[in-house]
Amino acid sequence: MKNLIAIICLLLSVTACNNKQATTSTAVADSSTAKKTKGIRYTCTMHPQVITTKPGTCPKCGMELVEKDDSK
């Protein structure tokens, strides 16, 4: 019984790690796409490296994306 619980925990942790890695790649892809396009861009206040051309939520923390000010 202890072995079964250990195996389930191991599988869950591996699955969780793989999911986070895919999210990070998506954020980087969105960031490079946003730099190439002109217009309004959205970013996360907690993760400024996440930049997209559409409003929504941050793929890392789930916070609402805000409009990025490029006037600076």
pLDDT of 8-43, one tens digit each?
A: 887 777 666 654 444 444 555 555 554 554 689 999
Residue 66 above 60 pLDDT?
A: yes
User: Residue 42 is encoded by which pair of tokens?
Assistant: 């959205």
| Concatenated DSSP letters of 9-21 | HHHHHHHHHHHHH
Burial class of residue 62 (count of CB atoms within 10 Å of its CB; 0-12, 13-18, 19+): exposed
pLDDT digits (tens, 9 = 90+) for 38-58: 689 999 999 999 999 999 999
Q: ∠47-14-43 over CA atoms, to 5°?
A: 15
CA 72/CA 37 separation, integer angstroms: 18
pTM score above 0.75: no
